[in-house]
Amino acid sequence: MTKSPELMVVLNISGSNERRLEAFELYRKAFNANKISGGLPPDDVPSENLLPDELETHIIMEINGYKFGIFPGDDGSSHGLVNCQFQFDNEDDLRKAYNVLVQGAAKHLIESPFWCKLFGLVTDKYGVCWALVFD
């Protein structure tokens, strides 16, 4: 690996965009969280090019130097309520990690969404969800 991937803990919050904004406010008050980024996709991205959850609010915040994401989620049955997201600076390193994790995986996908060059999502054979991002 060229550089250790950066870890971000992702909290999958079900329900409306308002519910995710309320969750951020709760964590802001509880932990003095700072909003790094958040919102909907840019207007110039055609909605037919987006996955359903990309039409919803995503928030990235910092708490005591650690990154947390508040992303659209479900009841936890799809990819869990919490997952570990690694930000890679090298596509080959992401593909290597993905290819190892998918062996015996319960669920997995790899794609190139509008917001990054390559995205992998794997629920491994132990039930742990890993989100892999290269940008």
For the chain, the straight-line distance linking the first and the last C-alpha, in angstroms and rounded, comes to 15
Asked if residue 90 belongs to a domain, the reply is: yes
Asked if residue 106 belongs to a domain, the reply is: yes
Asked if residue 1 belongs to a domain, the reply is: no
Q: Can you give the residue range of the structural domain that contains 12?
A: 6-134
Burial of 47 (0-12, 13-18, 19+ CB in 10 A): exposed
Among candidate residues 129, 135, 132, the one with its CA nearest the CA of residue 95 = 132
Residue 21 pLDDT: 86
CATH at residue 16: 3.10.180.10
Among candidate residues 2, 131, 126, the one with its CA nearest the CA of residue 67 = 131
Q: Which residues pair with 107 in a beta bridge?
A: 123
Asked if residue 69 belongs to a domain, the reply is: yes
Asked if residue 127 belongs to a domain, the reply is: yes
Number of domains in the chain: 1
Q: pLDDT band at 52, cuts 50/70/90?
A: low
Mean pLDDT over 45-62 rounds to: 70
Residue 24 pLDDT: 87
Residue 49 pLDDT: 63
In the numeric block, the tokens 């060229």 are attached to 2
Residue 42 pLDDT: 59
Asked if residue 38 belongs to a domain, the reply is: yes
Mean pLDDT over 16-41 rounds to: 83
Asked if residue 18 belongs to a domain, the reply is: yes
Alpha-carbon gap, residue 104 to 127, rounded angstroms: 11
Is the Cβ–Cβ distance between 24 and 35 less than 8 Å?
A: yes
Residue 129 pLDDT: 86
Residue 77 pLDDT: 58
Mean pLDDT over 31-45 rounds to: 75
How confident is the prediction for the chain on average, in pLDDT?
A: 82
pLDDT in tens, 110-135: 999 888 999 999 988 877 788 999 98
Amino acid 59 reads I
Asked if residue 118 belongs to a domain, the reply is: yes
